[in-house]
């Protein structure tokens, strides 16, 4: 009878102790979970550094902050995220008032990954690189209390196990065939339920891992889309710059044409003035000098013919100058029309860029 009680009590102790131990195993958290979370945020941080690197290289705090806000939903568990340059200038932060201030934490330096544990907080540092060159850093602050839970048994669990031994021992003193009844107790649904619970926890962890992998794949696709948009916008900006350059050159051509026109108009006025003076002189000569004989008349005709020839030459020069002025003006009109067309194209490109910015 005592033997049965001892056996029954020991088995009861083992069952209760085993159930308590199994419960501890099925709890989420602990160092393994914390390590998994840390590695997950390192992976996310690396992808973030890949997206934001262009703005970090340009030290563009507006672009860096925009990217951080866009990806903020993917870092919900983070206490804070900071993007800085190599000299410690903050380009983006959950707290926008800190932008352009100096970073006061521990810099990554030449390390690939930096993990600094300070009390309940974990600080992850990830370099931002352009090729092999380090151009900045990303710092992620995690509150590890959200992820870690203490393991181990407390004294209450030990007391429960000992009490179960005493209860089963006393019960075993009054039960015959204790071995058979204990075997039946071990086969109860309680232990089976705990095992099923453990399986469910493992299944949940696997689903969480699969979900994380899917998130990473989705983020890769988002990165590819953003990179394509950036390349497209760069090309559009290059085209706009080229158009601005062409417009500047055309404006210079117009200024040169205007200068040439002004010079030609001055020459034309000079020629007209010369013609007027010649015609005036001829008229005065004809009025003042009478013809006395045939020789003088012949001489007068020769002089008149010579003057008429000079007048014809001047008129030809005037016509040529007029034609050149008309040609220059036509050229000016053509170039002005081309400039107006380019301006319209430029306005269309600017509207397209604004539309792309709103879509992004």
Q: Is residue 116 part of a domain?
A: no
At 74 the pLDDT is 78
- The H or E element spanning position 278 is helix 189-288
Q: Is residue 160 part of a domain?
A: no
C-alpha gyration radius of the chain = 47
**Domain CATH number, residue 260:** 1.10.287.1490
User: Helices 178-186 and 2-26: crossing angle, nearest 10°?
Assistant: 10
Q: Is residue 333 part of a domain?
A: yes
At 305 the pLDDT is 60
Residues of the chain with pLDDT under 50: 1, 5, 8, 15-16, 18-22, 25-29, 150-153, 155, 174-188, 190-191, 195, 198, 289, 291-293
At 162 the pLDDT is 53
Q: Is residue 309 part of a domain?
A: yes
Is the separation of the CB atoms in 7 and 179 below 8 Å?
A: yes
Please write the tens of the pLDDT for every residue from 43-65.
888 888 888 888 899 998 988 88
Please write the tens of the pLDDT for every residue from 69-95.
887 877 877 899 999 999 999 999 999
| Number of compact structural domains in the chain | 1
At 187 the pLDDT is 46
Q: Is residue 141 part of a domain?
A: no
At 31 the pLDDT is 60
At 249 the pLDDT is 72
pTM of the model: 0.36
Dihedral sign (CA 173, 174, 178, 183): negative
Residue range of the domain that includes 296: 234-359
Strand ranges, E, within the chain: 78-85, 90-93, 114-118, 121-130, 133-143
Q: Is residue 87 part of a domain?
A: no
At 185 the pLDDT is 41
Pick from 228, 213, 72, 79: nearest CA to 145:
79
At 136 the pLDDT is 94
At 181 the pLDDT is 41
Q: Is residue 14 part of a domain?
A: no
Pick from 266, 275, 264: nearest CA to 312:
275
Q: Is residue 109 part of a domain?
A: no
């Amino acid at each position: 009878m005592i033997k049965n009680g001892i056996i029954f009590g020991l088995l009861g102790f083992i069952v209760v102790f085993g159930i308590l131990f199994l419960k501890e195993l099925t709890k989420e958290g602990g160092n393994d979970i914390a390590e998994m979370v840390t590695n997950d945020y390192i992976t996310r941080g690396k992808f973030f550094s890949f997206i934001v690197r262009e703005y970090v290289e340009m030290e563009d705090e507006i672009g860096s902050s925009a990217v951080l806000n866009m990806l903020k939903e993917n870092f919900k568990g983070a206490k804070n995220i900071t993007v800085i340059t190599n000299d410690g200038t903050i380009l983006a932060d959950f707290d926008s008032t800190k932008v352009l201030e100096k970073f006061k934490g521990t810099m990554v330096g030449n390390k690939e990954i930096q993990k600094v544990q300070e009390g309940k907080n974990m600080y992850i540092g990830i370099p931002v690189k352009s090729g092999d060159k380090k151009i900045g850093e990303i710092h992620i602050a995690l509150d590890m209390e959200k992820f870690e839970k203490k393991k181990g048994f407390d004294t209450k669990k030990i007391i429960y196990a000992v009490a179960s031994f005493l209860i089963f021992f006393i019960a075993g003193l009054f039960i015959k065939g204790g071995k058979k009844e204990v075997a039946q107790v071990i086969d109860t649904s309680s232990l089976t339920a705990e095992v099923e619970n453990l399986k469910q926890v493992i299944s949940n962890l696997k689903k969480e891992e699969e979900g994380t992998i899917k998130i990473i794949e989705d983020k890769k696709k988002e990165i590819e889309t953003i990179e394509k948009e950036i390349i497209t916008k760069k090309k559009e900006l290059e085209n706009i710059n080229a158009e601005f350059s062409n417009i500047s050159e055309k404006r210079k051509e117009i200024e040169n044409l205007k200068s040439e026109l002004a010079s030609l108009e001055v020459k034309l006025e000079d020629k007209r003035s010369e013609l007027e003076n010649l015609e005036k002189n001829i008229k005065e000569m004809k009025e003042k000098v009478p013809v006395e004989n045939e020789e003088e008349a012949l001489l007068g005709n020769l002089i008149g013919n010579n003057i008429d020839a000079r007048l014809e030459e001047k008129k030809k020069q005037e016509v040529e100058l007029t034609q050149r002025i008309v040609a220059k003006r036509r050229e000016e009109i053509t170039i002005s029309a081309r400039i107006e067309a380019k301006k319209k194209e430029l306005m269309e490109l600017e509207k397209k860029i604004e539309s792309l910015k709103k879509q992004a």
